[in-house]
Every structure is written in structure tokens, then in C-alpha cells.
Chain A
Amino acid sequence: NAGVTQTPKFRVLKTGQSMTLLCAQDMNHEYMYWYRQDPGMGLRLIHYSVGEGTTAKGEVPDGYNVSRLKKQNFLLGLESAAPSQTSVYFCASSYPADGAGEYNEQFFGPGTRLTVL
């Protein structure tokens, strides 16, 4: 089991360029998440998905788009990168919450370090 993998590991973009971050999981998890981590800010949820073909906004969705065409993959897109999007991006996956709202543990990938000049 590879768990959660992210590509690429590092990337440098110029302002206005676009790119897609790929997250893949082999645990058959329904839920997938994209977070960003900035110094002193902890982790903030960008978008998440509760199943194939469904996505929803998290705390900081502006400037990002996502797609979940296959259950095992969750893509995060930056259409026009800005310096404020310089960050470390983490993907995570989990089994679904149960009927009582109990969220299961999330499994995180190793992260993608993105710099926008």
C-alpha cells in the first residue's frame, strides 16, 4: 500500500501560470481533502470531496478549483497562480463520517511545496 501520494513534490511557478496538483490514494477512501499550510497558520481546508464526482468548498477556496473524476484521485488546480498561493499543500483521505457525524482519521500525503514568484 502506497497510502496517499502527491505529485509533484516541489514546483516553482511564475505569477499567472497555471498548474495541477495530483493526489492519489489506494485505500478505497470515499472522502478526500486538500489543505494548505502556511507558517503560523496551521492547516486550512481548501476543498474536499465526499465521493466520486462531488466536491465542496472549505475554508479558503478562492483561486483554486478541484475535480474528483475517479474515486482514487483528487486534483487541485490553480488557474492563475499568485504569490499569496505560495504554500505547502497537503492532500488527505479518509473513510466517510458515520451517521452520527463521527469523522474517521485522515491519512495525509507527504505534501507539495509550491512557490509562486
Chain B
Amino acid sequence: DAKTTQPNSMESNEEEPVHLPCNHSTISGTDYIHWYRQLPSQGPEYVIHGLTSNVNNRMASLAIAEDRKSSTLILHRATLRDAAVYYCSRFGGSQGNLIFGKGTKLSVKP
């Protein structure tokens, strides 16, 4: 199966780190891992992407397993505004192999 697998939901406390896992055991060597998030009634928003190395940006960090069969999106300090559905996706191929996962709904408690 070419899709990614994520837990349906996760909970976090405000100002604590959150680790969102994703399994992509059939990913090809050239597929990039992208993460997007979606707030209620809005379009998805890009978070981060990477290929093999761990990546950091102002929003989050992406930790990619050495065998690339899994990855983890890390929100260093969750805020109430981070409550959203997070999609782990794989993008690759010359003609647009774009596969979104089904998403993890993250709830953040104050």
C-alpha cells in the first residue's frame, strides 16, 4: 500500500512538546515526506518537508528514521492554536505522486 499511516487522534497539554508519528514503510527512495495541517473550515497549510535528514523550521521539526519507514513531526511547545488535523504525506515522482495520509487530529488542553 502506497499510503501513509497515522494515529487518528492525539492529545497534548499546552506548552508541552508533541510528537506526531507517521508510518510510510513502502516509501520509495526519492519520495519526500511532507507535513501539512488543517484548521477547521480552512484549507491545509504547509508545515515542513524532508527527504533523509532531520529538518527544522520556525513551525516544527521533522525527524526521519534512518530506514525512512517512519517519521515524526515535533511541535516543541504546543499552543491552543496548534489544535488541528496534521497530515503526513509523501510526494515524489516526475509526474506528481502525491499521497496524503488520513491525518491525526491533535487536541491541545490548556
Within 8 Å by CB of B43, from A31, A58, A90, A103, lies A90
Q: How far is the CA of A108 from the CA of B89 in the complex (A)?
A: 15
Q: Select the stretch in A11-19, A41-49, A69-77, A78-86 that faces chain B.
A: A41-49
Given A44-B100, A56-B96, decide whether A101 and B43 contact each other with a Cβ distance below 8 A.
Answer: no
Interface size class of B (residues with CB under 8 A): 20 to 34
Contacts of A56 in B (CB 8 A): 95-96
Given A108-B44, A110-B43, decide whether A102 and B100 contact each other with a Cβ distance below 8 A.
Answer: no
Within 8 Å by CB of A101, from B32, B34, B101, B102, lies B32
Q: Select the stretch in B16-24, B45-53, B62-70 that faces chain A.
A: B45-53
Contacts of A41 in B (CB 8 A): 102
Within 8 Å by CB of A42, from B31, B51, B102, lies B102
Q: Digit string of B29-44 for contact with A (CB within 8 Å is 1, else 0)? A: 0111010100000111
Given A42-B87, A43-B87, A59-B99, decide whether A102 and B43 contact each other with a Cβ distance below 8 A.
Answer: no
Contacts of B31 in A (CB 8 A): 101
**Does A50 make an interface contact (CB < 8 A)?**
yes
Given A101-B93, A102-B32, decide whether A107 and B102 contact each other with a Cβ distance below 8 A.
Answer: no
Q: How far is the CA of A93 from the CA of B3 in the complex (A)?
A: 22
Q: How far is the CA of A105 from the CA of B62 in the complex (A)?
A: 15
Tell me the smallest distance from the CB of A8 to a CB of chain B, in Å. 15
Asked if A108 and B103 make an inter-chain contact with CB atoms under 8 angstroms apart, the answer reads no
Which residues of B pack against A, CB within 8 Å? 30-32, 34, 36, 42-46, 49, 51, 87, 91-96, 98-103
Which residues of A pack against B, CB within 8 Å? 4, 31, 33, 35, 40-45, 48, 50, 56, 58-59, 90, 92, 97, 100-103, 105-111
